[in-house]
Structure 1
Amino acid sequence: MPLIFDAHTEYVLETDNVLLRPLQAHDYQPLLPFALNEPTTWQYSQVSAAGEEGLKNYIDDALTARQTGKEYPFIVFDKLTESYAGCTRFYDIQPANLTLQLGYTWYGQKFRGTKLNKHCKWLLLGFAFETLGAERVEFRADNNNKRSIAAMQSIGCQVEGVLRSNGLKADGQRRDSIVLSILKHEWLGGVKERLAAKL
């Protein structure tokens, strides 16, 4: 049975701490301060949203990708501070294989190191495995991005290996990408419970 996924459905996910809703064109305004003032946010990323034009392109590309059914971008709203915190998305959605990737995740500087990311991942992973019917959720990061790798491992991701020189960073340099994943039986067999205890 393929993934139960519809790119045209408005999926909204939330806890008491965070709300994830579909990214929209008008989200340019609340995200603009990050794009203008925190350009190092995308130091390790393959896609940058730095600067006015960078943010516009980022949102346009994300919305176009959603229309193809291959990606589904969310904006992140932090309920504790009542402010927008960043973005994340499902991508490389493969209904026939029951797999997808979770990434393009970034947060403003003041939200890093808080529990915001764990709340987001708890929502997104639960939705992927328990609602959409995914059997595998994959994560990737620049192999030099130790903060991101540690964050992924802290939510229960298993390292699978490193793809050497497999892509370009936003600055044009090549990068090695580490691949991690969580499987459905791992999520239901303890990862979900352990992550919930950290919220």
Structure 2
Amino acid sequence: MPINFNFSQNLIIEDDFVLLRLLQESDVEHLLEIAINEPETWKYSLIPAHGQENLTKYIQHAVKSRENKTEFPFIVFDKKLEKYAGSTRFYDIQLPFKTLQLGYTWYGKDFRGTGLNKHCKFLLLQFAFETLGMERVEFRADNNNQLSIAAMKSIGCKVEGILRNHMPTFESEARRDSIILSILRNEWFGEVKDHLKAKL
């Protein structure tokens, strides 16, 4: 059965701790403090968002990709602290194949290690598998980004392999190796969902 997804919808996904809604160009003001004061946030990012100019371009690119129906970006709001925490998105959305990637995830330093990420990932994975009917959700990271890799493994992702010398990095002339991880539909319903829910 083919999947239908309205890329123009004002989608909101939330629980008691976090709210994810459609990222818009006007959200520059909500994320600007992190962009200006925490440049280390994008150490391993392919598209940097440090500083107002880069953040504006970052969000404009995300909005354009949504209009092209290849990505769906979210802004993340921490309900407990009542502050905007960062951003994440579905990307490389392949509806005919029932696959997508989940990434471009970053949070300000005040929101890291608080459990916010697990709440976000639970909501997004639940939506991907149970509302969209996806068969596979893929994750990628710089193979040097051990904190990100550990976070993905902790939510139930399985390592599939390394793409060697895969992509350039914005920080230097060097190219990165990309690690590929994923969660499959049967794994979500079999154990990952309950395992992740227990950590919330």
With structure 2 as the length reference, what TM-score do the two structures score? 0.98
The 8 Å contact of residues 4 and 131 in structure 1, kept in 2 or not, is answered as: no
Deviations 1:15-56 (A, max 9, x none): 000000000111000100111000010001111100111101
Task: Mark the runs of 5 or more structure 2 residues left unpaired by the alignment.
Answer: none
Using the aligned pairs only, state the percent identity: 61
Which residue in 2 is equivalent to 1:196? 197
- Give the Cα separation in 2 of the matches to 1:174 and 1:17: 37
How far off its partner does 1:9 sit?
1.4
- Give the Cα separation in 2 of the matches to 1:104 and 1:158: 19
AA of the residue aligned to 1:73: P
The 8 Å contact of residues 77 and 85 in structure 1, kept in 2 or not, is answered as: yes
Deviates more, 1:164-173 or 1:44-53: 164-173
**Any residues of structure 2 matched to 1:129-168 within 5 Å, and which?**
129-168=129-168
- Give the Cα separation in 1 of the matches to 2:47 and 2:189: 32
Aligned residues: 199
Task: Mark the runs of 5 or more structure 1 residues left unpaired by the alignment.
Answer: none
Deviations 1:112-158 (A, max 9, x none): 11100000000000000000110000000000000000000000000
AA of the residue aligned to 2:71: E
AA of the residue aligned to 1:176: D
After the TM superposition, which segments of 4 or more aligned residues of structure 1 sit over 6 Å from their partners?
Answer: none
How far off its partner does 1:13 sit?
0.2
Which residue in 1 is equivalent to 2:55? 55
AA of the residue aligned to 2:139: F
**Any residues of structure 2 matched to 1:88-103 within 5 Å, and which?**
88-103=88-103
Which residue in 1 is equivalent to 2:41? 41
State the secondary structure of the residue aligned to 2:196: helix
Deviations 1:71-105 (A, max 9, x none): 00000000010000000000000011100000000
Which residue in 1 is equivalent to 2:188? 187
AA of the residue aligned to 1:77: F
With structure 1 as the length reference, what TM-score do the two structures score? 0.98
State the secondary structure of the residue aligned to 2:119: helix
How far off its partner does 1:170 sit?
2.1
